[in-house]
Amino acid sequence: MRLSFNDIPTLSRPLLALALVIGVAAAAIVASERSIKGAKATLGKARSELSEAQKRVQRSGEERDTIQRFLGPYADLAQRGVLGEEQRLAWVDALRTANADTQLYGVDYEVGARQGYAFTAEANASGLPVQQSIMKLKFGLLYEQDLLDFFRALGQQQVGTFAVNQCALQRLVQEVSQPVNAPTLRAECEVAWITIPAEGGS
């Protein structure tokens, strides 16, 4: 089939329709490419947000596990008076109770100012604001064993944590030939009451 110039008017409409179809197809292709690029960017952003959310969930899970793991010991330390403010009145009551339980002759005490604990590193507590208050004790004993019994009774009061830094014994009676109701030894001890201030405390 051969075409001539006389056929051009007849083909003008089909050619115009073809050009229109090609233009629409080209526009659709361009729009599709833009849509695909936009979808890829949205997908990448969504994946990034999902990854960050998963990391937050993992971190929150780890934090929850850490809290659950240490909540019991933390509550126990708080209950025993190790965490927070010093419980000096409780310490004094514990001294009196320990004295009565061991049937000693009274305890004289003197408590110093709160200060940094000298053996924080040795106690594997580096990074914690561990504090101590030095208490000097003076009391009479009948036998040497009474000293151990007294500190054992003091520990059973559950009013905090203490460490006996040193003790010195002085004999008041050279020889006990028969039971007496009076001290034969004088003890002078230095005790460190150990506390960890609550966050923001001094």
- Same domain? For 93 and 19 the reply is no
**Pair 139, 108: CB distance under 8 Å:** yes
Q: Is residue 134 part of a domain?
A: yes
State how far the Cα of 37 lies from the Cα of 8, in Å rounded to an integer: 42
Please state the domain count of the chain. 2
- Same domain? For 25 and 95 the reply is no
Confidence at residue 200, expressed as pLDDT on a 0 to 100 scale: 46
Confidence at residue 56, expressed as pLDDT on a 0 to 100 scale: 78
**Structural domain of residue 99, as residue ranges?**
88-195
Least Cα distance to 97 among 169, 166, 155, 137 occurs for: 155
- Same domain? For 68 and 19 the reply is yes
- Any idea what the CATH number is for the domain that residue 154 is in? 3.30.70.60
CA dihedral sign, ordered 12, 16, 19, 25: negative
Tokens 């059973």 locate to: 156
The one-digit pLDDT tens for each residue of the chain (202 residues) are 555 555 556 656 666 666 676 776 666 676 667 766 766 777 678 778 878 877 877 776 666 665 566 556 666 666 666 777 888 999 999 999 999 999 999 999 999 999 888 777 766 666 778 889 999 999 999 889 999 999 999 999 888 889 999 999 999 876 655 556 788 999 999 999 988 887 644 4
